[in-house]
Chain A
Amino acid sequence: MLDVQKIRKDFPILNREVNGKPLVYFDNAATSQTPQVVIDAIVDYYSNYNANIHRGVHTLSQEATDAYEIARKKIQKHFNARHAHEIILTSGTTHSINIVATGFTTLLSEGDEIIVSALEHHSNIVPWQMLCERTGAVLKVIPMNEEGALQMDVYYQLLSEKTKLVFTNHISNALGTINPIEDIIKKAHDVGAAVLIDGAQSCPHIKPDVQSLDVDFYVASAHKLCGPTGVGLLYGKEEWLNKLPPYQGGGEMIDQVTFEKTTYAGLPHKFEAGTPNICGGIAFGVALDYMNSIGFEAIAAYENELLVYGTKKLLEIEGLKIYGTSKNKTSVISFNLEDIHPYDVGSIVDKLGVAVRTGHHCAQPIMDFYKIPGTIRASFSFYNTKEEIDVLVASIKKAKMMLS
């Protein structure tokens, strides 16, 4: 069992007030809050061993390099990659996706097909569209149904020997739907296609095992996992990462440089040009330690309790409609009040200290599907409480009263 009152003490921000009310933070799907241990790690780095890594022989540089590489090993262990050099540290999910999408330019030819799910964040649509423009490959979409789940029968039909890549998120950021990625990966491999899974929304709730998933690429961001912004990972199977060309040229990613020819460094440095977010990488490792100390099973069980409670309480409000009602979903509730614009509701609940996201959540195709301008999205984390959900419900009722 998870002791939420004890956990809340780890997060200094949860003590603050917004507009004179205690903060109720329900925008966890956008970014998670930061526990004191992670803040301390950041302060410790800049106070004691800030230095550039993989270069100097001096003590500070050695210490920083060691800490950074220990973090990479922690990430490897957490995601269960076979090798530490299969973990590329990036600036985040979007950066990771772009490394793969750009790299595939040389591996695709006209008429090849790539498949993407209808539940994607813009960051997992646009890079593939750009890849198609560059290569003449064709983008195919797995459609969604009214519940917000993927139509898997259509997916099976889309697969063919022309399919070279399949991309989907593990969990939809806009609706919270958990996609059946095991099946998606297996069926793609049956036709010889590679698969990239966007784990940005899933890794705060589910600990993935990239080896048992047999996934080719897996991407995620630290800031959704109680880590800092500006750092994330690209996991790739060694053989795939070796096939892809470097994404950016610069320091760190080279082996030998002459004006005639440059040879590239091996993995992971080939994809890590320039000085990385050293402090961020180290703090990412600390954040994973923190979350593992609580335990992902306990986190998932507690967040599911919040989801069930929140769904029940919100549905008691007349005229409230929830979007994304798949049985298989995480602690995200996307909803609207009948005939009321989500921005109006968001503006009023903010005044009551409640942080929710309003808008299209960078997933316009999903909003188009439901023919709505956007939704109000409340996303719960393991440090939230049922009492906070009661505050959300009361603030939505208040907004409804003011706006009807």
Chain B
Amino acid sequence: MSIQKIQEEIVDEFSMFDDWMQRYEYMIDLGKSLPLIDEKYKIDENIIKGCQSKVWVHAEMNDDKIEFTADSDAIITKGIIAILIRVFSGQHPQDIIDADTHFIDEIGLKEHLSPTRANGLVSMIKQLKMYAVAYQTQLN
């Protein structure tokens, strides 16, 4: 599925919720489905800076597509990174670089995040795109 399609799917899912609590509960559930990072990659170099809780991300390239795994010590943060990974994992690096992440505003993720978390969100997207840039350079 394309990045665009996945984003639309997520927007659809979130449109079913009336209030912030249901959104949070859903994000907490999504956090539980996060493809977990291998313990050996849970090192300081893989921590995303700018997040108030710890977030580790690892990326691998298989058949020209990037697979992301991650973890966090906070559950809601885990939910957020799970949503991002669902959008970006299994995609071609160039598609990740080109992707705009309009769905974040559409699902009200930003307005329901405190400023520190919202900054963390920006850092997470930036980090995932950085991996894509690095792998794209290898392909060129």
Q: Report chain A residues within 8 Å CB of B73.
A: 341, 373
Query: Are B52 and A343 touching (Cβ within 8 A)?
Result: yes
Report if A359 contacts B (CB, 8 A).
yes
Question: In the complex, A340 Cα to B78 Cα: how many Å?
Answer: 12
Report if A145 contacts B (CB, 8 A).
no
Query: Are A341 and B53 touching (Cβ within 8 A)?
Result: yes
Query: Interface readout for B6-33 with A: 1 if CB under 8 Å, 0 if not?
Result: 0000000000000011001100100000
Question: In the complex, A351 Cα to B117 Cα: how many Å?
Answer: 14
Report if B75 contacts A (CB, 8 A).
yes
CB distance from A67 to the nearest CB of B (A): 36
Query: Are A351 and B53 touching (Cβ within 8 A)?
Result: no
- Which secondary structure characterizes the binding site on chain B? helix
Query: Interface readout for B97-138 with A: 1 if CB under 8 Å, 0 if not?
Result: 000000000000000111011000000000000000000000
Report if A13 contacts B (CB, 8 A).
no
Q: Report chain B residues within 8 Å CB of A402.
A: 21, 24-25, 28
Report if A151 contacts B (CB, 8 A).
no
CB distance from B112 to the nearest CB of A (A): 8
Report if B58 contacts A (CB, 8 A).
no
Query: Are B28 and A347 touching (Cβ within 8 A)?
Result: no
Question: In the complex, A346 Cα to B114 Cα: how many Å?
Answer: 10
Query: Interface readout for A335-371 with B: 1 if CB under 8 Å, 0 if not?
Result: 0000011011011101100000001000000000000
Q: Report chain A residues within 8 Å CB of B114.
A: 346-347, 350
Residues A351 and B75 in contact in the complex (CB < 8 Å), given A341-B53, A343-B52: no
Report if A4 contacts B (CB, 8 A).
no
Question: In the complex, A351 Cα to B113 Cα: how many Å?
Answer: 10
Query: Are B21 and A344 touching (Cβ within 8 A)?
Result: no
Question: In the complex, A283 Cα to B81 Cα: how many Å?
Answer: 46
Report if A403 contacts B (CB, 8 A).
yes
Question: In the complex, A387 Cα to B117 Cα: how many Å?
Answer: 30
Query: Are B74 and A351 touching (Cβ within 8 A)?
Result: no
Q: Range of interface residues on chain A?
A: 10 to 19
Q: Report chain B residues within 8 Å CB of A347.
A: 24, 76, 113-114, 117
Question: In the complex, A359 Cα to B73 Cα: how many Å?
Answer: 13
Query: Are A403 and B52 touching (Cβ within 8 A)?
Result: no
Q: Report chain A residues within 8 Å CB of B20.
A: 19, 351
CB distance from A328 to the nearest CB of B (A): 31
Question: In the complex, A230 Cα to B61 Cα: how many Å?
Answer: 51
**Closest chain B residue to A359, Cβ basis:** B52
**Closest chain B residue to A341, Cβ basis:** B74
In B17-63, the 8 Å CB interface with A consists of 20-21, 24-25, 28, 52-54
CB distance from A262 to the nearest CB of B (A): 44
Query: Are A403 and B28 touching (Cβ within 8 A)?
Result: yes
In A66-80, the 8 Å CB interface with B consists of none
Known A-B contacts: A341-B77, A343-B77. Give 15 more (CB < 8 A): A19-B20, A340-B75, A341-B73, A343-B52, A343-B116, A343-B117, A347-B76, A347-B113, A347-B117, A350-B114, A351-B20, A351-B21, A351-B112, A402-B25, A402-B28
User: Can you identify 6 A-B contacts, CB atoms within 8 angstroms?
Assistant: A340-B75, A341-B75, A343-B52, A344-B76, A351-B20, A402-B21
